[in-house]
Amino acid sequence: EVVARVSGIPTMARLPHRETADGLDAAFVGVPIDTGTSNRPGARFGPRQIRVESAMLRAFNSSTGAAPYQSIAVADIGDVNVNLYDLKDTCRRIREAYRSILSTGCVPLTLGGDHTIAYPILQAVAERHGPVGLVHVDAHADTSDVMLGEKIGHGTPFRRCVEEGLLDPGRVVQVGLRGSSYSADAYAWSRAQGFRVVPVEECWFRSLAPLMAEVRAQMGGAPVYLSFDIDALDPGFAPGTGTPEIAGLTPIQGVEIIRGCRGLNLVGCDLVEVSPPYDTTGNTALTGANLLFEMLCVLPKVRYL
Amino acid sequence: EVVARVSGIPTMARLPHRETADGLDAAFVGVPIDTGTSNRPGARFGPRQIRVESAMLRAFNSSTGAAPYQSIAVADIGDVNVNLYDLKDTCRRIREAYRSILSTGCVPLTLGGDHTIAYPILQAVAERHGPVGLVHVDAHADTSDVMLGEKIGHGTPFRRCVEEGLLDPGRVVQVGLRGSSYSADAYAWSRAQGFRVVPVEECWFRSLAPLMAEVRAQMGGAPVYLSFDIDALDPGFAPGTGTPEIAGLTPIQGVEIIRGCRGLNLVGCDLVEVSPPYDTTGNTALTGANLLFEMLCVLPKVRYL
Amino acid sequence: EVVARVSGIPTMARLPHRETADGLDAAFVGVPIDTGTSNRPGARFGPRQIRVESAMLRAFNSSTGAAPYQSIAVADIGDVNVNLYDLKDTCRRIREAYRSILSTGCVPLTLGGDHTIAYPILQAVAERHGPVGLVHVDAHADTSDVMLGEKIGHGTPFRRCVEEGLLDPGRVVQVGLRGSSYSADAYAWSRAQGFRVVPVEECWFRSLAPLMAEVRAQMGGAPVYLSFDIDALDPGFAPGTGTPEIAGLTPIQGVEIIRGCRGLNLVGCDLVEVSPPYDTTGNTALTGANLLFEMLCVLPKVRYL
Amino acid sequence: EVVARVSGIPTMARLPHRETADGLDAAFVGVPIDTGTSNRPGARFGPRQIRVESAMLRAFNSSTGAAPYQSIAVADIGDVNVNLYDLKDTCRRIREAYRSILSTGCVPLTLGGDHTIAYPILQAVAERHGPVGLVHVDAHADTSDVMLGEKIGHGTPFRRCVEEGLLDPGRVVQVGLRGSSYSADAYAWSRAQGFRVVPVEECWFRSLAPLMAEVRAQMGGAPVYLSFDIDALDPGFAPGTGTPEIAGLTPIQGVEIIRGCRGLNLVGCDLVEVSPPYDTTGNTALTGANLLFEMLCVLPKVRYL
Amino acid sequence: EVVARVSGIPTMARLPHRETADGLDAAFVGVPIDTGTSNRPGARFGPRQIRVESAMLRAFNSSTGAAPYQSIAVADIGDVNVNLYDLKDTCRRIREAYRSILSTGCVPLTLGGDHTIAYPILQAVAERHGPVGLVHVDAHADTSDVMLGEKIGHGTPFRRCVEEGLLDPGRVVQVGLRGSSYSADAYAWSRAQGFRVVPVEECWFRSLAPLMAEVRAQMGGAPVYLSFDIDALDPGFAPGTGTPEIAGLTPIQGVEIIRGCRGLNLVGCDLVEVSPPYDTTGNTALTGANLLFEMLCVLPKVRYL
Amino acid sequence: EVVARVSGIPTMARLPHRETADGLDAAFVGVPIDTGTSNRPGARFGPRQIRVESAMLRAFNSSTGAAPYQSIAVADIGDVNVNLYDLKDTCRRIREAYRSILSTGCVPLTLGGDHTIAYPILQAVAERHGPVGLVHVDAHADTSDVMLGEKIGHGTPFRRCVEEGLLDPGRVVQVGLRGSSYSADAYAWSRAQGFRVVPVEECWFRSLAPLMAEVRAQMGGAPVYLSFDIDALDPGFAPGTGTPEIAGLTPIQGVEIIRGCRGLNLVGCDLVEVSPPYDTTGNTALTGANLLFEMLCVLPKVRYL
Ligand SMILES: [Mn+2]
Ligand SMILES: [Mn+2]
Ligand SMILES: [Mn+2]
Ligand SMILES: [Mn+2]
Ligand SMILES: [Mn+2]
Ligand SMILES: [Mn+2]
Ligand SMILES: [Mn+2]
Ligand SMILES: [Mn+2]
Ligand SMILES: [Mn+2]
Ligand SMILES: [Mn+2]
Ligand SMILES: [Mn+2]
Ligand SMILES: [Mn+2]
């Protein structure tokens, strides 16, 4: 039966709601926090608003021919039950929830939430898959040691991941970095780990398809995680986020990066830092929903018509 | 388990989602249309936004002691599948959906949607219960014969209902009427049917508890339907609606009217005309959610602690 | 022919547009400035936005039975051509434009614009009618001697009017005054002129109908001008204005004041200080449009059905 | 006389308002509907808001030297009187209104309104000019057979046009297509008709001047209609629309397309799908106003200084 | 020198900025957190936005004649340096900062921040003054034992205060309570402590001056703290807050409560829960600024002219 | 001590506030006016909002390695005390304030305010440095002779500057010009003076680094002033401005222009026309803050690490 787009309780992409990941090849899951944020909050409502705006999504990718729903079993499994008053406890809850999701072989597609969540998610991912490659799209490196004296926050997740051996540093790429910084050589730590750093200046005025060809070569066939901070995009396109930086990527480049991941052994993806109170038109959430759909379309088992 | 308010796929009042009304005493149901609107559209998103903002609702009524969830079975049964391109066909679909809901003995609590929907809902209600009493809270009488030459629209539902004998005209009260009008004696037709008309001027500066005592006497024990157009409230309190009129009711008076329906034989209720694009803070939808909760609390079988 | 409300080039109340006031009993006229404002600007767009929102207005007053369009000739005569770069020159242009309007016997209903405009309008009014009575509804007395050292601005018009003998001080009432002030006895100057000052505290929790009975007695049959600053209303009801003050009048009281002017010898009216950039829903402009319609309905020659 | 931009009743580009197209070479005309919309409504207010924001437009095109008002007679002829409650009847009214406009030899420049309106407009256009070429700029092909089971809506106009022989299929180009779709080969039907389909990916990172040279060659000297859906632009630039799709055209490319139509035998143009409730800054309407001015500048008889 | 209101770096009420409270009788101080919030965040920007909107404040209270700046030394001493990632550590920092402020005899007027902050502030207050009386204006009792399993949050401060003996329970009044609740007898715990509970229903339609006369009698001459949650006001007047509840107090009643505290031995005041991302017009912050000014005006040493 | 970004009274870039420019190498200074504006006002709040959003700025430029605060003494010296009611008097006040700032050898970095202010600033600059070179980034040439008959306004500053010999016309470049115009050869006057005019069409789709190499050659070692109107950027990126024109520069290009000024003998810079009421997300002000930081980073004495 045909159902009007405006109708119904909003699940991601109007998919069925399931209680668990059992039997699913991929699952959309929300992590509604913003308590790791340093500036504008609101990302706690990111999952809810992405679901709402995802009503625009249809079944096929008209550009690539991907037919995800004819290929794999997908559903929306709701949100992790977070603790808004204790960020460390929230990290524990996320880690446990993802352990459970991953145990079934399901690939989680995460609706954030602030970027803090990448740390406990990657704890669970590495527990199952070993140290993984990382495609990290962001305005910020998120590799600070501390924020306001604290180890856990949205500016530190990848520092923690390296310290715990969750990443394969030779297979980490960070794309879109920019903005003012706490030191003159802001990406020295990343480079010292062996990360490939692609400052935004290297992306200006050009297609990122060539970059992604190099990234695919770098990543090989081993497991890879894709973490996409919506603030990688220029705030002209994605105003609804907490720490915007000007002169960023375009949505076109964002789509190129994700489509460029086709063929990788993706074991998980996230789209984080959508902050609805600053998204006055809903279009940042809509952009997030579309990027998540593009991620779904490049998962290993998806067929192209 | 305690779940954070920001978490989860938004059903009304965070209730379970059910596919049908079977086994339910009361059900929240959405009718997402605005194609009967004469001015600002957007009410098609009313059900979705009311559900989103209803996350603030808790289990008990602190003011009256009502404990609805300990008294009756309630769920959210989703939306009627409307036809956005043919208003008359939409009316048919609504009528049939409500026939089905009412057939189980369930009381529908409707999330509108523009006021057109009251007409097909009352067709189904009268089919089951016979002509009903009506408590109609609104800035407008909604008794026009035609709008732009058409019989079906949000300004005509109660004219159609009278023509089809769906109402018991001696048990109809219209509260909050006001605004500029198409004729100098705007409520003549209502009065000619035997309706009690309460222009907003009779409500200014005073509690409506005495009025509701009279209404309860007028309604007696026979079936009553409650139809609440959010534009009955002053646009200072409910800006997110399509045809606002100044100098309206306060939310306090809105609550008084609903609480004043306690003891009536309510067979259905609606809250219509919430238009999210004009609800810049979400508070009109929040108001709608609270009014629907108050309606739930005065249903016949609800107990008070 | 019936025309949909959303259709057409927006004139006030969807009236015909005329180039001059010739042959009109009353005319809506805009004065699009905000260069007299001390805080938030934007009132230059007040006339345009009031016209846009006035599409909701119908032909009759359902509450009072007034039938203005069956009684008198009314049109929208457009805007005064202001000089945005020289406030004093703008005042000259306004004065001359109103001289012309008033010369035909037409009653101007002004869409402001900031309150500075009341000064040159009253120059023209007094030139024709002699010193007039004034019903001044406002959060502020607007009787400062200077603002930032300047004589002309939206905080000084009534001081200038008194200095020039344009008002009959024993027939001036100021209603709704409040807020923090530049001196402890903020209304001393007004009282010293013989104005009746009604601080907002005297209005709280009550109908203003009794006050207006007194005002009518005070005004008698001589010419009266009505000047209504939208900031007289509480910012909960009229957020779209430049210098809001909390704890103000309600729209109900605003309507009571205007309806209470029925029977007065009104020779001009204005509704000022609507600032669309701060009117996120359009409802402040809508309120202004309704108040202007109520003013039209109490003009001397209007009949009631 | 010089008139301040903020002053006056808002006609398109501050042009004179005329009742009919008699004696005009070109006419701006509004079609205020959104009842063909599948997602966010609001385009009914598109004509009104485009007029409001068009106050920024001046008389010459500084980039191309076009001097439209020194070349041809242009005016704003107001809106088609639509039926908001019956989309099919609205189509009939549009068709008749455009028959009348076209009968005088006037070129209509349409302010939409949702894209449904292109169907009845093209009925009138083909009636006068025979099957026409089409430059269709859009995120969507708008060639669905049905929407929610209905034949008429904003996703179907060009299917209907082909069925009725209103277009010359070998002279149809669709530019900017993208987004998720109902089938994997979303543009198969278009291609099967002989349309040239230019998916947005072929537009990324490049000037569209070369494309337009090809289009001009394709179109030749026969009549051409230009239909521009504002959602062709990326939602970063045009958020105020109903069905936004990410990674779209830039305004630069939009301007290139229109300027690239110079020399064509344009017999009509439209700019559709501006939805003011989602245009929080007014800049989508402003963009629409500028694109309409660019269309005016490339009409056949316009001279360049 | 006269300075335009729009000019200058925004301190509270355009007062001088001081580093410490030394030599001050009263000090405005901000506590920019929202990490104790259960629903909509944003109160971390409350102090900043209240300062911005406070530019409207002038030197005198036109209604009461209070002349605070001629009576006592007042300044803005900036914000407590909070830890956004650890709410318990933030509480420690607040407590220590207020110890320091209070040690000089200064009365702190706090710009919140969410209501969690009342707990550590009252720890410091009670340390200096012993158990204090409390005038608590709020939609919520804020006396929960835990929120999502945690002891510290914006729903628990007054429970913690009672447990630690910081309050004199016989001199506690809670005004404005309402909304749905977690138990049917939502205020039982408050009443069991000896608090006076004034549900909002007791406030509807009436002046609160009589209530405040009783409160003054109850409080006597011993130290009193005033804690004002902006959500006590109806969301029509104060939309910019995190957990709005309908049918609340009016700003008039809010002003009456504060003016009714004149004569009390006030040792500290706060205005909390202003959330700028939900305050689309700035008027909630403006309301907060005005209420803080009214609090300043009723401090013990302020003279009235 | 580390201080949370949300904390504290908002100075530019969280720098210390100083009363004067004494001892400073560079100073941020605000000029809060919009009384020179022809369309949307609001730029009077530009300085305040840029300061608020500048809380995101950190100490180093991660892209260029600039370390401004380790190189030169910088502070925020507040706002010029403008006269909102007399634009000519405001110009006098600005000229005198900048004379004082420049007398100490300090380089002013101005937060506008509308573009009128460039005229009196350049009067003071030329008084000290003689006729200067000018890098003018704008959608508009701002070289009109009069606006609405007046000589002073935001469309005329550079005409006045040339008339008074404040500029070295052979070292003036205007970048980004576009939009409809009052004459067909809109930039004839600029070219006649010897200005280099770079219409926006010459900037589309390309890096502006080559252009800036030419500009540096043109400017040589003599004093240069940089004036950046935020409306040079496309309104998709900078909606919060008064006279937006479509198809403009990107923030990337804006950054390239400023970074391309490194090595010039910059004696002053401004960033004008940010209008907060039209900046619904704060991101236009944030963009302005970042561009001002980039300007600071290219001042003559700044070192790069
Ligand atoms: Mn990140
Ligand atoms: Mn980031
Ligand atoms: Mn209704
Ligand atoms: Mn209604
Ligand atoms: Mn006033
Ligand atoms: Mn006022
Ligand atoms: Mn289309
Ligand atoms: Mn489209
Ligand atoms: Mn509280
Ligand atoms: Mn509260
Ligand atoms: Mn400029
Ligand atoms: Mn400009």
Pairing mode, strands F223-229 and F132-137: parallel
pLDDT of residue C24: 98
Percent of chain A with pLDDT over 70: 100
Q: How confident is the model at residue D268 (pLDDT cuts 50, 70, 90)?
A: very high
| Cα-based angle F298, F302, F303 (whole degrees, multiple of 5) | 120
Which pair of tokens denotes residue A22?
A: 């059992």
- Condensed to tens digits (0 to 9), the pLDDT of residues A81-99 reads 999 999 999 999 999 999 9
Q: What is the pLDDT of residue D2?
A: 84
Q: Is D85 helix (H, G, I), strand (E, B) or coil?
A: coil
CB D252 within 8 A of CB D186: no
- Condensed to tens digits (0 to 9), the pLDDT of residues A122-149 reads 999 999 999 999 999 999 999 999 998 9
Interface test with F, best of E7, E14, E15 (most F CBs within 10 A): E7
The B-side interface with E (CB below 8 A) comprises 2, 4-6, 55-63, 65-67, 205-207, 234, 236-238, 250-252, 254-255, 280-283, 286-287, 290-291, 293, 304-305
Mutate to test the interface with C, among F83, F85, F90 (most CBs of C within 10 A): F85
pLDDT at F201 (0 to 100)? 98
Q: Which chains touch E (3 or more CB pairs under 8 A)?
A: A, B, C, F
Residue carrying the six token digits 């005495």: B210
Closest Cα partner for E136 from E250, E292, E269? E269
Name every residue whose Cβ is closer than 8 Å to that of residue E202 and which is 6 or more positions away in sequence: E211
Distance of CA D104 to the CA centre of its chain: 21
Structure tokens at F171: 């070292």
Round to whole Å and give the CA distance between B226 and B274.
16
- Interface partners of A (3+ CB pairs, < 8 Å)? B, D, E, F
* CA-to-CA dists, residue B148 to B44, B66, B87, B272, F151, angstroms: 21, 44, 14, 21, 52
Taking alpha carbons only, the member of C154, C171, C133 closest to residue C243 is C154
Nearest to E58 among C181, C204, C240 (CB): C181
Model pLDDT, residue B117: 98
Residue F1: pLDDT band by 50, 70, 90 thresholds? confident
Task: Identify the residue among B37, B80, B84, B114 best suited for mutation to test binding to D, counting D beta carbons within 10 A and taking the highest.
Answer: B84
CA of F200 to the centre of ligand 8 (A): 28
Tokens representing residue D203 in the block: 């537009």
How many CB atoms sit inside 10 A of residue E220's CB?
12
Angle at the Cα of D28 (from D24 to D29), degrees rounded to 5? 110
Q: Do A236 and F5 touch (CB under 8 A)?
A: no
The residues, ordered by sequence, that sit 6+ positions from A155 with a Cβ below 8 Å of its Cβ are: A38, A115, A140, A142, A144, A147
pLDDT at A1: 73
Closest chain C C-alpha to F36 CA, distance in angstroms:
6
Rounded distance from Cα A142 to ligand 2 centre (Å): 7
Residues paired with residue A265 on neighbouring β-strands, in sequence order: A223
pLDDT single digits (tens) D131-180? 999 999 999 999 999 998 999 999 999 999 999 999 999 999 999 999 99
pLDDT at A191 over 90: yes
Q: Is the per-residue pLDDT at C1 higher than 80? A: no
| pLDDT score recorded for residue E2 | 85
Extract long-range pairs of C142-151: CB within 8 Å, 24+ residues apart: C142/C115, C142/C118, C142/C229, C143/C189, C143/C190, C144/C182, C147/C38, C147/F85, C148/C38, C148/E2, C148/E4, C148/F83, C148/F84, C148/F85, C149/E2, C149/F83, C150/F83, C150/F85, C150/F86
B86 min Cα distance to partner chain E (Å): 36
Condensed to tens digits (0 to 9), the pLDDT of residues F4-36 reads 999 999 999 999 999 999 999 999 999 999 999
DSSP string for D1-47: ----TT-S---GGGPPB-SS-TT-SEEEEEE---TT-SS---GGGHH
Cα B115 to ligand 4 centre (Å): 8
The CB density around residue B93, as the number of other CB atoms within 10 Å, is 17
pLDDT tens digit sequence for D200-230: 999 999 999 999 999 999 999 999 999 999 9
The overall average pLDDT reported for chain B is: 97
- Banded pLDDT at F118 (limits 50, 70, 90): very high
Average the pLDDT over C27-53 and give the result: 98
> Can you state the percent helix, strand and coil of chain A, rounding each to 5?
35, 20, 45
pLDDT for C254 beyond 90: yes
Say which residue the tokens 């402590």 belong to: E193
Residue F73 pLDDT level (bands cut at 50, 70, 90): very high
Q: Can you tell me the ipTM of this complex?
A: 0.97
Predicted confidence (pLDDT) at residue A106 exceeds the cutoff of 90: yes
Closest by CA position to A276, among listed E111, F289, B276, D178: B276
Compute the mean pLDDT over every residue in chain E, rounded to the nearest whole number: 97
| Separation CA D17–CA C153 (nearest Å) | 35
Instruction: Count each helix (H run) and each strand (E run) in chain C, helices first.
Output: 9, 10
Contact residues of A toward E, CB < 8 A: 34-38, 40-42, 44-45, 83-87, 147-150, 152-153, 277-278
Q: Decide: A87 and A117 in contact? Cβ < 8 Å.
A: no
Q: Cα distance from A60 to chain D (closest Cα, Å)? A: 5
pLDDT tens for chain E, residues 1 to 305: 789 999 999 999 999 999 999 999 999 999 999 999 999 999 999 999 999 999 999 999 999 999 999 999 999 999 999 999 999 999 999 999 999 999 999 999 999 999 999 999 999 999 999 999 999 999 999 999 999 899 999 999 999 999 999 999 999 999 999 999 999 999 999 999 999 999 999 999 999 999 999 999 999 999 999 999 999 999 999 999 999 999 999 999 999 999 999 999 999 999 999 999 999 999 999 999 999 999 999 999 999 99
Euclidean distance between CA atoms A150 and A148, whole angstroms:
6
Handedness of CA A33, A39, A42, A46 (dihedral sign): negative
d(CA E261, CA E215) in angstroms, rounded, equals: 8
Residue A61, pLDDT score: 97
Ligand 9 centroid, distance to E198 Cα (angstroms)? 15
**pLDDT digits over C197-253, tens only?**
999 999 999 999 999 999 999 999 999 999 999 999 999 999 999 999 999 999 999
